[in-house]
A and B are shown apart, each in its own frame.
Chain A
Amino acid sequence: EVQLVESGGGLVQPGGSLRLSCAASGFTFSNYEMNWVRQAPGKGLEWVSYISSSGSTIYYADSLKGRFTISRDNAKNSLYLQMNSLRAEDTAVYYCARDGAPYSSGWFDSWGQGTLVTVSS
């Protein structure tokens, strides 16, 4: 069974940093492209970032303006999101999501349960 478990969320002050993790199991992590998606309170889903299976190709949503960094460790079956210069508008539940097929990018076929990031003084 595919499992994605996010961690690392919490309360952080504006301008602060946080590192999210997503532990993957139940599939060959190194074969799949991965994404981070967020959902602000009461709002819809917003794609944040993508990383290819090898980690060599990375994309970000334009709105992030270079503040976030996605990475992965295939030996540890883990996905990460380093978030810097956090703002109140980054407050959201952050989900990791797996791409729907090995070595392919497109639809998301598995989701974690999410981790809440709250940016507030």
Chain B
Amino acid sequence: QLVLTQSPSASASLGASVKLTCTLSSGHSSYAIAWHQQQPEKGPRYLMKLNSDGSHSKGDGIPDRFSGSSSGAERYLTISSLQSEDEADYYCQTWGTVNWVFGGGTKLTVL
């Protein structure tokens, strides 16, 4: 079964960096994912598509502070030089043959 696992919460200080993790279920380590950001009271916003080899393509207007990387079944989103507006929920998303799956989301707090 295709499942994405994310930690419920993360925190980091203003100006620092943070690395969020999304883990693919067993047998799905080759899958690409997408990262989406959802700021409070807003709709989701596409950040990037991230492949298993770590290559990624970002959405229009996404700052260079956002980057992605991969290792095995883990997919990472790194945000550097944290700003207050980065405080949001972050969701990873992937897809199978007939289904699309979201991780449970990570709530990022900027201290």
Contact = CB atoms under 8 A, between A and B. Distances in A.
A106 B97 CA distance: 9
B79 interface: no
A49 B104 CA distance: 18
B46 A111 contact: yes
B93 A108 contact: yes
Interface in B26-57: 32-34, 36, 38, 42-46, 49
Interface string B59-76: 100000000000000000
B43 A47 contact: no
A60 to B, nearest CB: 9
B101 A47 contact: yes
Interface in B78-111: 89, 91, 93-95, 98-105
25 contacts: A37-B102, A44-B103, A44-B104, A44-B105, A45-B93, A46-B102, A47-B99, A47-B100, A47-B102, A50-B100, A93-B43, A95-B44, A100-B34, A100-B49, A106-B49, A107-B33, A107-B46, A107-B93, A108-B93, A109-B34, A110-B46, A111-B43, A111-B45, A113-B42, A114-B43
